[in-house]
């Protein structure tokens, strides 16, 4: 199928969706229009509100907060994940001893930690960063661990026969292999950093996208909720596109580049 046709069909899906939404909320098909609009708002109102928000300065401040939290959670979580992933992969005993605890910690739904983090780190950005950290850390940790463990034995034996010492093996073999695995989960980990930030904001904060949506919900402002969701979606797509760009640059050496884990 050619690109124009595909884009046309994709646009058609959106138009049909908006049309149905509009018809249902503008005409008394399923009851009184006012009641329906209270529950579902209208596409025009949501788009209008979104547009107004996007031209005002206020939303960018909230976006900036969310972005800061996401980036911090991603960077700190990745750094810790890489460090522990490496350490555990190179120390069999350590990995064996901590195995059940790591599995248990990873099995825990992270949302339940949000109130605790709010208690520990306050309502500012750090409680959200902590929540994002717990999500990012495990993804990166497991991937780096796997990356180090699954280095091809032939590549490793060859590198050793070339006379490489531990430091050189680390630089030329283990490190690139681990990074590959980490990058292949880049979409997932960046996505989870964002989830941590938004969920944290949603559960208790005074700024950020999650806060905006929560604020609208608490006064039954459905238009505000939908518009917040729309802005969030645009934000996620923008970040994802950025990650794809980074990924393409970093993994040029990979055959048939295909890591499409979505957030």
Nearer to other proteins, 147 or 208 (CB): 147
> Pattern 117-156, binding to other proteins, x per CB under 8 A?
-----------------------------------xxxx-
Q: Which stretch binds other proteins (CB under 8 A): 27-35, 61-69, 91-99, 164-172?
A: 164-172
Tokens 């825990």: give the residue: 108
> Pattern 47-86, binding to other proteins, x per CB under 8 A?
----------------------------------------
- Three-class secondary structure of residue 199 per DSSP: helix
Instruction: Say how many residues touch other proteins, by CB under 8 A.
Output: 23
Between the CA of residue 65 and those of 43, 71, 124, 263, what are the distances in Å?
27, 10, 10, 20
One residue of 19, 96, 162, 246 binding other proteins per CB under 8 A: 162
Asked whether 213 and 228 are in contact (CB, 8 A), the reply is: yes
Asked whether 132 and 195 are in contact (CB, 8 A), the reply is: yes
Check residue 253 for interaction with other proteins (CB under 8 A): yes
Residue 86 CB, shortest distance to other proteins, in Å, is 17
Check residue 248 for interaction with other proteins (CB under 8 A): no
Q: What is the residue-wise DSSP string for 117-144?
A: HHHHH-SSHHHHHHHHHHHHHHHHHHHH
Q: Which stretch binds other proteins (CB under 8 A): 6-14, 130-138, 174-182, 192-200?
A: 174-182
Check residue 180 for interaction with other proteins (CB under 8 A): yes
* Alpha-carbon torsion angle 2, 5, 8, 14, nearest 10: -80
DSSP at 172: I
Q: Is 186 left (phi over 0), alpha (psi -120 to 50) or beta?
A: alpha
Asked whether 40 and 21 are in contact (CB, 8 A), the reply is: yes
Q: Which stretch binds other proteins (CB under 8 A): 41-49, 117-125, 128-136, 167-175?
A: 167-175
**Where on the chain is the footprint of other proteins (CB under 8 A)?**
152-155, 157-165, 168, 172-173, 176-177, 180, 252-255
């Amino acid at each position: 199928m050619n690109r124009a046709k595909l884009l046309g069909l994709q646009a058609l899906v959106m138009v049909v969706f908006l049309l149905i939404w509009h018809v249902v909320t503008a005409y008394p098909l399923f009851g009184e229009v006012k009641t329906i609009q209270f529950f579902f708002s209208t596409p025009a109102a949501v788009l209008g509100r979104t547009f107004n928000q996007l031209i005002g300065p206020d939303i960018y401040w909230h976006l900036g907060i969310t972005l800061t939290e996401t980036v911090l959670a991603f960077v700190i979580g990745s750094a810790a994940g890489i460090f522990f992933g490496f350490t555990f992969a190179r120390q069999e005993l350590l990995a064996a001893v901590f195995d059940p605890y790591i599995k248990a910690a990873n099995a825990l739904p992270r949302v339940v930690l949000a109130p605790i983090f709010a208690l520990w780190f306050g309502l500012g950005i750090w409680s959200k960063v902590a929540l994002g950290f717990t999500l990012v850390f495990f993804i990166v940790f497991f991937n780096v661990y796997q990356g180090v463990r699954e280095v091809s034995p032939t590549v490793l034996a060859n590198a050793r026969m070339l006379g490489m010492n531990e430091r050189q093996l680390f630089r030329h073999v283990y490190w690139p292999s681990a990074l590959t695995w980490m990058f292949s989960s880049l979409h997932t980990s960046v996505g989870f950093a964002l989830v941590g930030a938004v969920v944290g904001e949603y559960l208790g904060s005074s700024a950020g996208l999650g806060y905006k949506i929560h604020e609208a919900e608490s006064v039954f402002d459905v238009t505000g909720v939908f518009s917040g969701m729309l802005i969030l979606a645009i934000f996620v797509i923008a970040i994802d596109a950025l990650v794809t760009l980074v990924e393409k640059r970093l993994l040029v050496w990979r055959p048939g580049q295909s890591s499409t884990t979505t957030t």
